[in-house]
Amino acid sequence: MSSHAKAAKKFIADRERTAWHDQALFFVREKRDRMAHNVPEWEALREMASNMKLHTIANLPYYLEMFEKNATANGIHVHWAKNAEEHNRIVYEIIQKHGGKNLVKSKSMLAEECGLSPYLEARGIDAVESDLGERIMQFMGTPPSHIVLPAIHVKREEVGKVFEKELHTEPGNSDPTYLTHAARAALREKFLHADIAMTGVNFAVASSGAFVVCTNEGNADMGTSFPKVHIAIMGLEKVVPDYDALALYVRLLARSATGQPSTTYTSHYKKPMEGQEMHIVIVDNGRSDILACTEHVNMLKCIRCGSCINTCPVYRRTGGYSYSYFIPGPVGINLGMLKSPEKYSGNVSACSLCYSCSNVCPVKIDLAEQIYKWRQNLAPLHLADPSKKLMVKGMRFIMNHPGLFYNAIAAGRFAERMPRFVLYNSLDAWGIGRELPEFAKETFNEMWKKGLKTD
């Protein structure tokens, strides 16, 4: 059984919760659909956005150097980090230089990827998450289960409980408005007293040396409004050529992510504000290796909208924690495999090959096709499940021998009349978590032969 299937067992044990989780995400998917249908040129927009990404990927050094040159001219300090360790060290050195203690950060998947918060915590820096969902997860001491909706798996009562303990809210009050405003008041103090602000980057505009951060809450902007230091971190694939290219992604991002026409705040940072120092860290951490994987290079197009996660029937019914990579869903399956097939191959089975992810992706990444390719390559990587390998071998033998094949069908028809305990028991790995399909009364072969006689 794959690592995903094992972990999912825990999640699906609570049927009611599974249904609730499924519904919550499908609600977001439906909102996305309404937004997409309101833009007549949606498909042409996706196509162009996808090709623009490919053009950018083919010219990454050119656009990154252009961005660096322009950002530097704007007064931003540009740093480069080969990997997570170097990224963390650079961030820590900047904080240290300024004697920073209280850091307020907005959501960044790159920070998760690099394990920044635990790294800073170990060095005595309090890194407060300011996105509400991230803050909830920080209080709970568990990672986000979704890249855009970090606390999508948490029920309001659970938020109420943790806020009661951490923010001294009224016992038993789990009204989302009440809880959100309690967090607003508490985080306002953090914003006002932070000495370092950190943000992620949604897009870096090469032609201008500006970078763009998108939020609905305004937490990134509030966070960067007071401290004397702003550190922004970006994966190197976040660079876009210019504003004409940026327009494509701004149109697609929020519509795909949460089904809004845009995020509330789309902030453009170009020069440090009066008395402030601004840093940007450009991170590789394996991205330049993805460039060399011809079959998977499309993953560098990803704008982290999460729409593939919302639509995935497996994610919706198994939750983010069933995946062993920190990014779940179709995007996470692929990025995990690119990071380390040895560590993360347990996720490739978490796909029904329905291809819904490929159909909603705003930059047309062939997510499902890539998952299929990974599966095909498990055997050469020596990561295939031995029991499945044996079964496939057996199937191939039977399929190649028509006599055996029709005997097997007859046996199947007989087997389906057997009592459940015979068919679904612990000896039958295939029957665990699967229902046998009902066999058709007649095979196509039988129908065909009959048809030939009557005509």
Partner 1 sequence: MSSRDDILARLKKHAVDQVERPEMTFEPLVYSDPLEQFKKIMKTVGGNCVVLEEGQDVNEVIRSVFPEARSIASNLPEVTCATVNPDMLDDPRELNGTDVGVIRGDFGILENGMVWINQHTRYKALFFISEALVILLDRKRLVNNMHEAYKQPAFDDFEYGCFISGPSKTADIEQALVVGAHGARAVTVILE
Work out how close the CB of 188 gets to partner 1 at its nearest, in angstroms, rounded to a whole number: 7
- Is the distance from CB of 79 to CB of 282 less than 8 angstroms? yes
Q: From residue 195 to residue 224, what is the string marking binding to partner 1 with x (rule CB under 8 A)?
A: ------------xx-x-----xxxx-xx--
For 394-431, give the secondary structure using H, E and C.
HHHHHHCCHHHHHHHHHHHHHHCCCCHHHHCCCCCHHH
- 362 belongs to the binding site for partner 1 (CB under 8 A): no
- Among positions 258-277, residues that touch partner 1 (CB under 8 A) are 258, 260-271, 273-274
- 243 belongs to the binding site for partner 1 (CB under 8 A): yes
Work out how close the CB of 168 gets to partner 1 at its nearest, in angstroms, rounded to a whole number: 18
- 118 belongs to the binding site for partner 1 (CB under 8 A): no
- Among positions 161-180, residues that touch partner 1 (CB under 8 A) are 176-177, 179-180
- 80 belongs to the binding site for partner 1 (CB under 8 A): yes
Sequence-distant (≥ 6) Cβ neighbours of residue 21 within 8 angstroms: 11, 152, 153, 316, 317, 319
- 89 belongs to the binding site for partner 1 (CB under 8 A): no
Strands 265-269, 210-215: pairing is antiparallel
Sequence-distant (≥ 6) Cβ neighbours of residue 31 within 8 angstroms: 258, 259, 260
Question: In the structure encoding, which two tokens stand for residue 224, read together?
Answer: 């960067």
From 152-160, 344-352, 356-364, 433-441, give the range in contact with partner 1 by CB under 8 A: 152-160
- 69 belongs to the binding site for partner 1 (CB under 8 A): no
From 21-29, 328-336, 377-385, 394-402, give the range in contact with partner 1 by CB under 8 A: 21-29
From 79-87, 318-326, 336-344, 444-452, give the range in contact with partner 1 by CB under 8 A: 79-87
Position among 58, 381, 410, 440 found at the interface with partner 1 (CB under 8 A): 58
CA 3 from centre of chain:
18
- Is the distance from CB of 255 to CB of 207 less than 8 angstroms? no
Rounded CA separation 59/57 (Å): 5
Which residue is it, tokens 């650079």? 90
- 361 belongs to the binding site for partner 1 (CB under 8 A): no
Work out how close the CB of 54 gets to partner 1 at its nearest, in angstroms, rounded to a whole number: 5
